[in-house]
Amino acid sequence: MDTKQRIVEQAATMFFRYGIRSITMDEIAESLGISKRTLYESYSNKEELLMHCIEHKYQENKQIRESLLNEYPDNILEAIYQHFRLAIITLGSIHPNFFNDLKKYHSKIWKHHIESKQEENIEFTRALIEKGISEGYFIESADPEILARISHSLMQTMSLTNIFPETRFPKAEVVKQSLINFIRGMATEKGIRFIDDKFLSIQESSL
């Protein structure tokens, strides 16, 4: 692993765990055991480093979901369940202010590396729903395009702190409650049995 990759992986871990605003470039360099000069030779400022961290995490997540589809080619709900389980673990470890700070103080990164991926993510969700229909887990009357867009609108709503303040509603639990019921709502009896057997047993603290 080269120096730039080490920096990105460590910085991403720190930003997600402790929040963007609370982490300095000095602290990142110190945690890696490298000089500030080495850090700044790789990334000229915190904004540039944060941008690479966000893109790194996006590509990492994309690889995970693609590998799960390859691992469970004949059971789309199992692939969705495994990805959902990992997402709950991840969300439980992210600092409450991370996404709000990203959107508020780093709007260019938010637009270019979060909002710009929206159509790609919607298309991926649409394909999952189509496959779920073909495997008999989702009802045939479900409209994959509409439901994919509803699911992404739901994700945006879940991030609104005025509706779900983190002090009252842990993000992982909001996501769990929202998405399980959304998926269950378009499921067949076969799908409901699978969801009730596996999804409802997910507990962030026991994963």
β-bridge partners, 138: 187
Which residue, 154, 173, 41, 150, is CA-closest to 96?
A: 173
Which residues of the chain fall below pLDDT 50?
A: 204-207
The pLDDT score that the predictor gives to residue 206 is 41
Domains and CATH numbers, the chain: 1-56 (1.10.10.60), 72-206 (no CATH)
The pLDDT score that the predictor gives to residue 170 is 87
How many whole angstroms separate alpha carbon 109 and alpha carbon 71? Answer: 32
Which residue, 179, 177, 189, is CA-closest to 139?
A: 189
44-82 per-position pLDDT tens digit: 999 999 999 999 999 999 999 999 999 999 999 999 999
The pLDDT score that the predictor gives to residue 207 is 40
- Tokens at residue 107, please? 């709007």
The residues, ordered by sequence, that sit 6+ positions from 6 with a Cβ below 8 Å of its Cβ are: 32
How many whole angstroms separate alpha carbon 139 and alpha carbon 193? Answer: 14
- Tokens at residue 138, please? 């989702």
